[in-house]
Amino acid sequence: MTSFPNAYLEQAHHHGFRNKGELAHSLVCVCIYCKDTFAFSDIDWWVNDRPGPGSGEPAGSPFVETETAVCPNCHVDLVIGDASGLPVTDKAFVDAIHERWFS
């Protein structure tokens, strides 16, 4: 049914979290839930996903990205940008990752 292996989709899923820096360099962002596409500048809501204890990342490090984008359309926090290198404008890809996480 899908031509995308599970491991690939799980890898892609990581790009949906703590991704402000990556989205800032993206021309197109896509919401995996509602499949809407929009620009970085359309995102006006971010949630803070701080690294938890045991994550191996120093607390408060300015180099650790903590902000996760929330979709301006449906308010689900699984947005991926094209700077991830993922085929975010490929409908088959978006359908596959949506299936993997929301069905």
Given 3-state DSSP classes, what are the helix, strand and coil percentages for the chain, each rounded to the nearest 5? 30, 15, 55
Q: Which pair of structure tokens corresponds to residue 15?
A: 């790009």
Cα 70 to chain centroid, rounded: 9
Decide: helix, strand or coil at residue 6: helix
Mask 72-101, x = binds Zn ion (CB under 5 A)?
Answer: -xx---------------------------
- Judged by CB under 5 A, the stretch of 6-14, 28-36, 37-45, 81-89 that binds Zn ion is 28-36
- Provide the 8-state DSSP code for 29: E
Residue 94: which H helix or E strand, with range?
A: helix 91-102
Q: Is 24 in the site for Zn ion (CB under 5 A)?
A: no
Closer residue to Zn ion (CB): 72 or 87? 72
The binder of Zn ion chosen from 33, 69, 81, 86 (CB under 5 A):
33
- Judged by CB under 5 A, the stretch of 17-25, 65-73, 83-91, 94-102 that binds Zn ion is 65-73
The binder of Zn ion chosen from 9, 30, 31, 97 (CB under 5 A):
31
